[in-house]
Amino acid sequence: MADSEPPLPVVRLGLAHETSRASTTKSGFTKTTTTTTIRYQVHPLGGARRPTAGTESYAVYCGTCRKSVQVMVDADPVVMAKRRQQRGWGWVVVLAGVAVMALGIPKPAFFLGGVLVLVLGAVVVTGARSQQGVRVSKDQPIAARRGHTIRERRGV
Ligand SMILES: [Zn+2]
């Protein structure tokens, strides 16, 4: 099961700087769809390593804006614990959705609401496995955080 897979090695992840964001809206007969294309430049995480325990903070140089960005890296056990916790919450939401559906069977709007809650819970549960335990620290000025995310590096 993919859920027990260890997090990606830090070298497979990078600091992404958003370089552009463009939205196009198409109006059709029945619906309007908006597609947003975000472009990034992804930089290596420098000397960042996964610690054996706890969480380590690293200053990573962004080659796009030439700023130093604080990045937090969790140890494997911390990532696994966070995934378990996220799955746990997801299942709570799934069960809440089932309960609302059961209560709402005579009322279509309630039933539909329950289905939406259930789907949301399922998204949280399946999203848990992509938790890699590497993130841009929130404990730094917003100017350093803005436009920066952690993404998987291609071709590494
Ligand atoms: Zn940058």
pLDDT for the residue numbered 105: 78
What is the Å distance from ligand 1's center to 88 Cα? 34
What is the Å distance from ligand 1's center to 52 Cα? 28
What is the Å distance from ligand 1's center to 79 Cα? 25
Bridge-based pairing of strands 32-44 and 148-152 is unpaired
Give, in order, the Cα–Cα distances in Å from 131 to each of 42, 55, 77.
18, 14, 12
Q: What is the pTM of this model?
A: 0.78
| DSSP structure class, residue 51 | -
User: What tokens appear for 82 in the block?
Assistant: 């966070």
- Spatial separation of the C-alpha atoms in residues 81 and 91, rounded to whole Å: 15
| DSSP structure class, residue 10 | G
Specify burial of residue 10 (Cβ count, 10 A radius: 0-12, 13-18, 19+): buried
Which carries the bigger pLDDT value, residue 144 or residue 51?
51
Q: Which residue has the tokens 């600091």?
A: 15
What is the Å distance from ligand 1's center to 58 Cα? 15
- State the pLDDT confidence band at 5, using cuts at 50, 70 and 90: confident
- State the pLDDT confidence band at 1, using cuts at 50, 70 and 90: very low
SS3 category, 8: coil
What is the Å distance from ligand 1's center to 71 Cα? 12
pLDDT tens-digit series, residues 44-78: 998 899 999 999 999 999 999 999 999 999 999 99
Cβ 37 vs Cβ 21: under 8 Å: yes
Residues, Cβ < 5 Å to ion ligand 1: 17, 62, 64-65
What is the Å distance from ligand 1's center to 64 Cα? 5
What is the Å distance from ligand 1's center to 147 Cα? 7
- Spatial separation of the C-alpha atoms in residues 110 and 16, rounded to whole Å: 41
What is the Å distance from ligand 1's center to 128 Cα? 27
- State the pLDDT confidence band at 147, using cuts at 50, 70 and 90: very high
